Structure 1
Amino acid sequence: MPDPDTATPWPYPRWIAHRGAGRLAPENTLAAFRAGAALGWRAFECDVKLSADGVPFLLHDDTLERTTDAAGSAGDLNWGELSRLDAGSWHSRVHAGEPPPSLDAVAAFCLRNGHLLNLELKPVPGEEERTGQVVAKTVRQRWGEAVRDGLSVWPLLSSFEPRTLAAAHEAVPELPRALLLDALTPDCFDIAERLDCVAVVLEESLVTEDLVRTLHHDGLRVLAYTVNDASRAELLLDLGLDGLITDAVDRFVPGI
């Protein structure tokens, strides 16, 4: 594989806002995206899963209790029911009534404003393959024209679940994919290669200079999550990190 220095230029900014600006506003909502954009952030990470009737929408957890006014499995409700939930009151009164957004709504916001996206595929249990297929096809439908016209680039699809990435690859092979890792196993990078991933996204404590060098040599880009300490961020960027995902959108000034 080619070294990234001689490969196709990486199209994504190195600074990526986690779950929108998921601490300044309710995570994984358009309010969080707007808050990050107002501070100059151009790239966002968010979590996407499927409703019971197969509509991709933003939510991190398998269940609804933590970030909405409902309870139970997120995959048990149809999109019509999910779209009426309050996903903002848990955060603050000013965001009361903020709904969970569909991936369609996020696509419209990003394309209209020139923002780039790292979509983490978070399937509800039992929906691993279907989530990869549906999200990939939705991305192709929503971003395809802008990508063809050179007005945007594809979202980076990432997941901890290899079956989900494999299904996305089968459905829309041209989409870039990244394997998320919270621990290193003997075969984790072999899995990324088999999935034809362009990147790995590592829990930030796993990142070392030698690992970045090795992965770059093997043709993989390296991103890290969730980096909120300024000195750690500086060190990681000095190591040549290709992407840094952070909650600290109000403390860091996003560069290129």
Structure 2
Amino acid sequence: MTSPALPDWPHPRWIAHRGAGKLAPENTMAAFRLGASHGYRAFECDVKLSADGVPFLLHDSTLERTTNATGRAADRSWSELSLLDAGSWHSPAYAGEPPASLAAVAAWMRGNGHWLDLEIKPTEGDEERTGRVVAAEVERLWAGSDRPPLLSSFRPEALAGAREVAPQLQRALLVDKDWPGWLDVARQLDCVAAITNHRLMDATLFNTLRAAGLRALVYTVNEPRAAEALWALGLDGIITDAIDRFAPD
């Protein structure tokens, strides 16, 4: 049985993880700028909501690992969060680098013609609302753009919220483990892609995704041998930390 033909996928295949992998403080504007200096034109980052509903970039639910503050990020307003130091944890060269708002990321992406895989990373218990707010902001911030972000998430509820608000935005289900029924969930959410842990990806899964009409991307690949084997399958994208090891196409 022949897999259905897929629409054109015009996005770069190499995607810089959290802006610049591990070479700069993740999810900051400094990281995006460094990633771009290595030739990357596609990026991945994490977005969640402040206490007052402002989408901003942060991976963890708490602030300890990547800022000079403690506690839940969702308990602080954006005016508080925007003043934090999100760079010193990485290295002295980035001391004082602030967290990035989604608005700042959008302006930079659009100004440079770059593309974004935007992972919706909700605080626990706030999945659907985070998806709705983020989708509405993406719709506003990328209005008129022919390259809006791909909205991805491990949480189906967040993708459902995004679809409710902005069904025209493309969605992808992130999959870390082969849990029962995830492919059916991706279909039910009208996802255009699945982004899996690279250890899950093989020819069987790739062909299954293609037969389902889905694009196949993986994270986080940092070894050349692994990347070569994955590209040989025909993947649509690889997310990497090793932006200094892989030359993007």
**TM-score normalised by the chain length of structure 1:** 0.95
Check if 1:102 corresponds to 2:101.
yes
Moved more, 191-200 or 138-147: 138-147
Give 5+ residue unaligned stretches, structure 1: 148-152
Residue identity in the other structure for 2:144: E
Report the counterpart of residue 170 of structure 2 in structure 1.
Answer: 176
Check the 8 A contact 2:21/2:242 in 1, yes or no. Answer: no
How big is the alpha-carbon RMSD for the aligned residues of Structure 1 and Structure 2? 1.0
Within 5 Å, give how 1:135-150 maps onto structure 2.
135-147=134-146
Q: Percent identity?
A: 61
- 2:63 paired with 1:64: yes
| 1:112 aligned residue | 111
After superposition, give the CA deviation of every residue in 1:223-244 in whole Å (9 maximum; x if it has no partner): 1000001000011011011110
Check conservation: 1:227, 1:244, Cα contact below 8 A.
Answer: yes
Measured after TM superposition, the shift of residue 214 of structure 1 is 1.6
Unaligned residue ranges in structure 2 (runs of 5+):
none
Per the TM alignment, residue 186 of structure 1 is displaced from its structure 2 partner at its CA by: 2.6
Q: State whether structure 2 residue 86 is matched by structure 1 residue 87.
A: yes
Code of the residue aligned with 1:13 in structure 2: it is P
Q: Which residue does the alignment assign to 2:54?
A: 55
Q: How many angstroms does 1:144 deviate by?
A: 1.6
Deviations 1:199-246 (A, max 9, x none): 001001000011101211210001100000100001101101111000
Displacement of 1:146 after TM fit?
A: 2.2
Kindly report which structure 2 residues correspond to 1:1-256, keeping only aligned pairs within 5 A, or say none.
3=3, 6-147=5-146, 153-255=147-249
Number of equivalences: 248
Q: Which amino acid aligns with 1:137?
A: A
Query: Quick one: distance in 2 between partners of 1:76 and 1:207?
Result: 37
Q: Distance in 2 between matches of 1:54 and 1:3?
A: 42
Q: CA deviation at 1:7?
A: 2.4
The structural deviation recorded for 1:130 is 1.1
Separation in 1 of the partners of 2:10 and 2:184? 24
Cα deviations by residue, 1:99-150 (Å, 9 ceiling, x for unpaired): 0010000000000001100000000112111110010000100112223xxx
1 CA distance for matches of 2:210 and 2:145?
A: 29
Q: Secondary structure at the match of 1:57?
A: strand
User: What are the superposed Cα offsets for residues 169-203 of structure 1, whole Å, 9 maximum, x if unpaired?
Assistant: 00100000000011112311000000110000100
